[in-house]
A and B are shown apart, each in its own frame.
Chain A
Amino acid sequence: MLTRRFFLRGPAIVMAGAGALPFWLARAATAAEGKRKILVAIFQRGAADGLNVVVPFADKRYYELRPTIGIPAPGPQNGVIDLDGHFGLNPALQPLKALWDKQQLAIVEATGSPDPSRSHFDAQDYMESGTPGVKSDGWLNRALTPGGPDTSPVRAIAMGAQLPRTLRGVHSAIAVANIQQLRLGDQNGASALESMYANTADAKMGHAGKDAFSAMKMIQSLTQGNYTPAGGAQYGQGGELGRSLQQVARLIKADVGVEAAFAEVGGWDHHGNEPPQLTNLLRQFGSALAAFALDMGDRMEDIVLVTMSEFGRTAEENGNSGTDHGHGDLMMVLGGPVRGGKVYGRWPGLEKEQLYEGRDLAVTTDFRDVLGELISGHLGQQNLGQVFPGHKPGEPLGLLRS
């Protein structure tokens, strides 16, 4: 019986014609595996201002601390969208309200890392490593269960030109800015090239090359032509994230074995003139997430999407209608298996003595507890000690339906 494995190991003649991998074959090979569970991680780079993304409008200290950039309470057109009487969505996140009402969207407040760094780059590295204070390989790579010879070369994908730390590690992961790039323009030297990279003594190059060619073969025939999202979903308003998530959606639907996906959005570092910039970003952010959920439709039952940022921002606004680097932030969790429509985590309050170092939102839920629950409950990786070495999990949050 021909298997997908045969084609993956085959010689370069497989690449000689487009559509070399029969569509039915890929389907047949994966059908037996059942519906794969997928975790999508979104990193907001630059320290997103959680307090203005999900606003604690019932806490009057919020308005004392943010006289200029505070978002009005529910009511006026530019007021927050009430979620539960205490917290409200930034109005630019309107597209997420439906997901909240459908109980697919949950929010975890006051999340973050025990590490005190306020350096973007260190804090991002620590969060992506899942090891505060130490830079290592990625938590999402470690979260993958051991693979085998039939493991899809695209089980872990990152949208972007460079592989993020989150997905670095022993398991193969690929990074692509655009899946249309995953093809060789000229087939003439294809077999020579593949052999060059397969046999090179340069280990890192060889590894990169092997990943590139097997991913390319896998995806090439399954992603020809244009893609029409389901349900009328429109990614166009979602900016860069919309484009990334559209490709993630396409790959998931192509049944090529995606288990872990990563995308990032930059530009959250609003030291000055925050309100209009944050509004723009959130419009795209909300639109992209909503489009993805709509596009995936019923498949959302197998998908959990989680967002994070390296830290939050100062509770008090600064001199330039902006905020500086802070500490606690929030995470969003979206998906069919999520027990949504609820704000999780213990709200620490905004009084001066309740703030971290008197200036930032405190952290009451370690980000690894959020991720850990999703990794074990959704991806099925029970060995959390390996994913987050040295971390003792806190109280379970109950983010997923059992």
Chain B
Amino acid sequence: MKRLLFTVTAATLLAIGVPFLGSAVGRFDNRLSKEQEILQALNRLTFGPRSGDVETVRRMGVAKWIDLQLHPERIPENPELEAKLKPLESLRMESAEIFKQYGAVPRALVPQFTPLNQLLSQEQMRKILNGTAEERQSALNDLDPEKRRKVLPMVPPAVISTPELQKELAEARKAQQEEQQKEFRRLMPPLPDLLTADQIPIAQRGTPEQRQALFASLDPVKRQQVAGALGPQSLSGFPEMRRAGMAARQPQQVAIADLREGKLYRALYSNRQLEEVLVDFWFNHFNVDEAKGSDRMMLASYERDAIRPHVLGHFKDLLLATARHPAMLFYLDNWESISPDALQTLQVGPFATGMNLTQVLGRQAHGLNENYGRELMELHTLGVNGGYTQQDVIEVARCFTGWTIRQPNVKPEFQFASFMHDNGEKTVLGRKIPAGGGEQDGLRVIDMLAHHPSTARFISGKLARYFVADDPPKALLDKMVQTFTKTDGDLRAVLETMFTSREFFSEGAWQSKVKTPFELVVSAVRATQADTTDSFALVQRIADLGEPLYGKVEPTGYVDNSEAWLSTGGLLGRINFATTLSAGRIVGVKIDASRLDGKDTATMERELLNRSPSPETQAAIENGLGGKPATPALITGLVISSPDFQRR
């Protein structure tokens, strides 16, 4: 009897236990169907399949298609993309040129003063500034009133010794203010100065056609001024005008606008989708915030010159490129990290504290800054549990002293400044770095970290979490680490190991990731075959959903775990975006819902999702329509809002 009980209990436990075990292990062992494999590859290696993509991959064969994406140089680029990127000039410029063209504060915003020595002769100046009271009075009286009005606001208060002078000074200041306002108005005219009373409402609130006609009727100079007066927010749908207006009024914003709009166009139109996905991934990994100082002026170069060339190359090259780029040196403060000993040596002659020259030199560094040293190990290479200590952080920071920027804000290039460098002996992760290494110290650290076993594991883990699932299985990670180590960090090889693994094509990886706001918006526009003539509105939407592009403040970049994006406001925001997009109300995005005309609901759903939605979604749509006609716009909105579409 006991035996029976035991057997029954054991059987029950086994019955409960095995499915649990089965599901935990089995998810990543159960292979997808051939059709699912195609969609899986598209969902992960692109920003979302467009109509016809499934057919293309099927004909080529999944393996061959993946291999092609891993070699973007073999893929002819979409000419449409080039056309859309053309006006975004700053994307092709060196940082120095961006500073020159877009870095200046507009003249109108800087009050212009004529210095005293240009208004007065030497003798007049002596009399007014240093003479006796009579000399001062006579010299001032001798000036014609116009000149006196310019001089008075420029002299020290002590010179304004009489009530008459004070009164004149007050009037002079007032006149000066008025002149500045006049000048401001001349350089940045408001709309009433530019357009007639009839034209203004059209410019601001007319239909797109009316506005287009009005803008086209103006000469280029006036058009730019009108654009500046209207402001970027009211010029959605008019990309060229908007850019011209920004260049005149807020030139620094042009740099970041070009980056954001460009990123959208690339994601939407590039044929080299995997390359774009990787640039997004690696920028996020080596995150820089556009809002810090003038970092935004250096990001075009950062993404184009430090990140993009290496996404399918060797990790150590990517790491070094980011370490040396002024954008990163500035963002994580390494550019101003200086050996405390160096400072002692500097405290001499004109550089000694207390001398005027040091005040003139402005803010200057005073010692070691740990920020880059820490994040280099914690976020870029080893990972937080990768085996480094606080002492290592300090030692690494010491190694990188002197890695700085030549002429920030003017000609930002990497420069090693040996006088800033801490030349002592250091110990990093147990290895001694002998004294006198100079620039080599930093290079040795880069080399050590790139080849550290924790790095192979950390990077493989990040890639697997992004491309496979939030909880990738150890077997896959082990394979990727092995490839990483064997190939000296060849990222293409590691990706190939991952994309050809059975885990990648398993149930565990199927629809396992929640799309970020960027991924949702781009995949929705791609799925609906929309044509984007102005990506400005899309950039705004993505920011509203919580992911301002290039705008992550912290060096961690945007989080890569799905739960993070499933907030109440976020979900409702996505639904609202889907509805607005489908109704054709996102400015600059032309949706062609008519291509779905005449099709039944199930067909429409399959075309948008490239598969049938889940039974629950299908039922909800059918029942929820409540007799209303299943128009393409309505179905499109519902499909893109569905839980099915939120995943990739």
Contact = CB atoms under 8 A, between A and B. Distances in A.
A and B are interacting partners = yes
Interface of A: 45-46, 68, 117-122, 158, 160-163, 168, 174-178, 181-186, 188-189, 191-197, 199-202, 204-209, 211-212, 215-216, 266-267, 269, 271-273, 317-322, 324-325, 357
Interface in B33-90: none
A129 B14 CA distance: 34
A185 B580 CA distance: 8
Contacts of A269: 554
B565 A162 contact: yes
Interface string B557-569: 0010011111111
B337 A199 contact: no
Counting contact residues on chain B (CB < 8 A from A), the size range is 35 or more
A29 B641 CA distance: 33
A207 B393 CA distance: 42
B363 interface: yes
8 contacts: A176-B568, A177-B546, A189-B624, A195-B620, A212-B571, A269-B554, A273-B363, A320-B367
Contact of A195 (B368, B580, B623): B623
B370 A209 contact: no
Contact of B374 (A175, A192, A197, A325): A325
B562 A204 contact: yes
Nearest to A125: B384
B647 A202 contact: yes
Contact of B569 (A181, A195, A196): A181
Given A160-B546, A175-B570, 16 more contacts: A121-B556, A184-B579, A185-B576, A185-B580, A189-B634, A192-B623, A192-B625, A195-B624, A196-B617, A199-B616, A209-B571, A212-B568, A271-B370, A319-B336, A319-B368, A357-B390
Contacts of A119: 374, 378, 384
B572 A189 contact: no
Contacts of A182: 568-569, 572
A321 B363 contact: yes
A265 to B, nearest CB: 11
Contacts of B572: 181-184, 212, 216
Contacts of B562: 204
Interface string B630-648: 0000100110011100110
B624 A193 contact: yes
Nearest to B565: A162
A202 B363 CA distance: 55
B445 to A, nearest CB: 18
Contact of B370 (A193, A195, A212, A325): A325
A112 B498 CA distance: 42
A188 B634 contact: yes
Contact of B616 (A196, A216, A317, A320): A196
Interface in B539-558: 544-547, 553-554, 556
B569 A204 contact: no
A175 to B, nearest CB: 3
Given A319-B338, A321-B363, A193 B641 contact: yes
Contacts of A215: 568
B617 to A, nearest CB: 5
B340 to A, nearest CB: 7
Nearest to B622: A192
Contacts, number: 188
B620 A199 contact: yes
Contact of B626 (A162, A178, A185, A191): A191
B336 A272 contact: yes
- The 5 lowest CB-CB distance pairs between A and B, nearest first, are A319-B367, A192-B624, A161-B546, A176-B569, A175-B567
A68 B641 CA distance: 54
A181 B573 contact: yes
B159 interface: no
Contacts of B617: 196, 200
Contact of B570 (A162, A168, A189): A162
Contact of A320 (B366, B390, B614): B366
Counting chain A CB atoms within 10 Å of each CB, the highest count among B337, B572, B634 belongs to: B572
A251 B647 CA distance: 32
Nearest to B633: A188
B643 A176 contact: no
A192 B623 CA distance: 7
Contacts of B553: 266-267
Counting chain A CB atoms within 10 Å of each CB, the highest count among B337, B575, B576, B579 belongs to: B575
A254 to B, nearest CB: 16
Contacts of B554: 45-46, 120-121, 266, 269
A215 B569 CA distance: 10
A162 B567 contact: yes
A206 B617 CA distance: 11
Given A196-B621, A200-B617, A320 B369 contact: yes
A192 B573 CA distance: 17
B593 interface: no
B563 A320 contact: no
Contact of B642 (A186, A196, A208, A320): A196
B637 A208 contact: no
Contact of A162 (B374, B546, B556): B546
A160 to B, nearest CB: 8
Contacts of A205: 566, 643, 646-647
Nearest to A219: B568
Contacts of B575: 184, 193
Contacts of A271: 333, 369-371
Counting chain A CB atoms within 10 Å of each CB, the highest count among B343, B370, B628 belongs to: B370
B24 interface: no
A207 B567 CA distance: 10
A103 B315 CA distance: 57
Counting chain B CB atoms within 10 Å of each CB, the highest count among A117, A186, A189, A206 belongs to: A189
